[in-house]
Amino acid sequence: MLSLLLVAGATLLALYSYNRLRYLRFSQYAHIPQVPSHLIWGHLKAFGELTRRGIPDRHPDEIFKEMWMSMGRPPLMLVDLRPVNAPMVLVPTHDIAEQISKPTQLFPLSTPKSPTWTHMIPIIGESSILGKEGADWKELRRRYSPGFANQHLWRLLPLILEKMGPFCNYLDEFSTSGEEFSAERLISNLTFDIIGAAAMEVDLHAQHMDRSKQSEVIRLFGDLVQSYSDDNNNFPWWIVPLTALKRHQLARRIDSLIKRIIQQKYAEVKEEAEGNRSRSILALSLQESESLTPQLLSETSDQVRSFLFAGHDTNTSMLQWAIYELSRTPRALKAVHSELDEVLGPDTDPRVICSILAERGHDLLPRMTYVNAVIKETLRLHPPAGTARMTTPGTGFTVKTSAGEEYLMDGLIMYSCASIIQRDPIVFGDTADDWVPERWLGEAANRIPSSAWRPFERGPRNCIGLELANIESRIIIAIVARKYEFIKTGLGESALDATGLPTLNDKGQYRVQSELYNTRKMTSKPVDGTTMKVKFAVKPLSALST
């Protein structure tokens, strides 16, 4: 037993040293000459700070922000995360984030991704579009872009609307029973069903509350993603070997199920030939392929798994926050109601709205400007994801601050931190930390530099699913906002006055007993799964006098 422990200890030590050396081999970094010492959190101090301030409960972004503010808000901050990760530079301003994401002479397809994405390989596969570079990435983007283009997405509208039925049934049940529920679970199941339909035109039965009735893909995917929540810090495999093994096994099973679906869809596409009726993003990408080679099958499975993950996870988080912010901001809820009355008519029955949208969605959804502002503002204040880039030592990649200082970034993870960038008081003024959808309406919106809003990131590597996310979010808000009244419970719950009613603060939002905040479960998400109660809205707010 003792010798076994010794061998295990020696192996871990060797791996630790190897990893440490691997990062130290970023020669320019060894003494960090490119970043002045007053901008650096040395690794012991950085780990101490992250632990002291609340990892794993709180999202690292919040902690990085506090560390960055305690340094006096410098244009860059270096956090040394060796040996668990390479040293990381936090990018807190939109002008530097833009230098990283835009095409340059050195990198015409924008600065390469940092290898940090590889911890997601079990979920999205090695050849995922999220991690590919150069010509390989360009080819994948060319192949899949038509499926995500607006004119194709309108064809998917009926598939999306079909999934709203079970979602509203659950809300009806919870409204009747008064039971508390997790908005994350409900919305995540819905968005999973939607992306399953849009990506592959299959029913994943994600919305069954009884797990045994969900498809196997959903159950395995759920277990796989859960393994990342249990191990919040995304440690390297050599620190969590058993978790890594479990992920590997789950990934293989999901891959083989997805491959089976692709083979079936490929056969269908080829049978339909001329009068093609398949609408999914997958079907569209397969049309041009002469044969489904093992390589194409494997690559396609990786892309489909990437779409399943990226297509449901981030949108779920956004919708949780949007529903919560609306529930505590009567002014905004009233504006949403008025707009929906005007655009969709007075009937709030989800079935009626679905049939109106199925017929005229492409005309009506773009007219929902206030709902769009709600989505934009929610993504500004609570961005679910960001981007991390890295150039190898010797590349000579530099960024310039607004004061004209130039820093060499080679060998460092450049983390574009949307949750800091999008709350910059220089851009968003005194209300930078407040949820104010009106800032995105009319003239006021034109004064915001476009690079200061980047929840989908910018440049060639921006989110391919941006339009799909927008359509989906508008539909969901349009269907639930007038029919139901959501009430947060637990964290973020309203503080009630002596008469039992919520009271407004000076920002026009209900005062709360405690703040709701994000944690990290792969991406940013409300820490409590957004526990809520719901009831049928008694009378549309828009019908009430002010």
Q: Which residues of this protein are in contact with ligand HEM, per CB under 6 A?
A: 113, 129-130, 141, 306-307, 310-311, 314-315, 318, 379, 384-387, 455-457, 461, 463-465, 468-469
Task: Give least dist CB 351 to ligand HEM, A.
Answer: 25
Nearer of residues 215 and 387 to ligand HEM, judged by Cβ:
387
* CB-nearer residue toward ligand HEM: 194 or 537: 194
Residue 318 or 452: the one with the smaller Cβ distance to ligand HEM is: 318
CA 135 to chain centre: 26
Name which of 113 and 423 has its Cβ closer to ligand HEM: 113
Q: Which residue is nearest to ligand HEM (CB)?
A: 465
Nearest approach, Cβ of 163 to ligand HEM (angstroms)? 14
Asked if 489 contacts 533 with a C-beta cutoff of 8 angstroms, the reply is yes
The least CB distance from residue 195 to ligand HEM, in Å, is 6
Q: Which is nearer to ligand HEM, 57 or 139 (by Cβ)?
A: 139
- 3-state secondary structure (DSSP) of residue 34: coil
Q: Between the CA of residue 8 and those of 16, 156, 238, 376, 445, what are the distances in Å?
A: 12, 53, 11, 50, 58
Q: Which is nearer to ligand HEM, 83 or 122 (CB)?
A: 122
Residue with tokens 């902690």: 63
Least separation in angstroms between residue 367's CB and ligand HEM is 21
How many C-beta neighbours within 10 Å does residue 46 have? 20
Parallel/antiparallel/unpaired status of strands 518-521 and 484-488: unpaired
Query: Based on CB atoms, which residue is closest to ligand HEM, 314 or 327?
Result: 314
**Structural contact between residues 259 and 251, judged by C-beta atoms closer than 8 angstroms:** no
Angle at 480 between CA 539 and CA 474, to 5 degrees: 130
Q: How far is the CB of 346 from ligand HEM (least distance, A)?
A: 30
> Among residues 223, 274, 273, which one has the least CA distance to residue 251?
223
Q: Of how many residues is the chain composed?
A: 546
Tell me the H-state helices in 39-133.
Answer: 43-53, 60-70, 94-101, 121-124
Considering the complex, what minimum distance in angstroms separates the CB of residue 110 from ligand HEM? 9
Angle 430-435-436 from CA coordinates, rounded to 5°: 75
Beta strands at 398-400 and 406-408: parallel, antiparallel or unpaired: antiparallel
Q: How far is the CB of 459 from ligand HEM (least distance, A)?
A: 9
Residue 546: CB minimum distance to ligand HEM, A: 32
Q: Which is nearer to ligand HEM, 8 or 466 (CB)?
A: 466
CB of 194: closest distance to ligand HEM in angstroms?
9
Q: How far apart are CA 174 and CA 183, in angstroms?
A: 11
Q: Can you tell me the distance from the alpha carbon of 199 to that of 538, in angstroms, rounded to the nearest whole number?
A: 37
Contact indicator for 292, 266 with CB cutoff of 8 Å: yes
Is residue 378 within 8 A of residue 323, CB to CB? The reply is: no
- Minimum distance of ligand HEM from residue 504's CB (angstroms): 28
Q: Identify the three-state secondary structure at position 114.
A: coil
Tokens of 121: 């390989």
Q: Which is nearer to ligand HEM, 77 or 310 (CB)?
A: 310
Nearest to 47 by CA among 74, 67, 76: 67
Q: Nearer to ligand HEM by C-beta: 354 or 468?
A: 468
What is the three-class DSSP state of 526?
strand
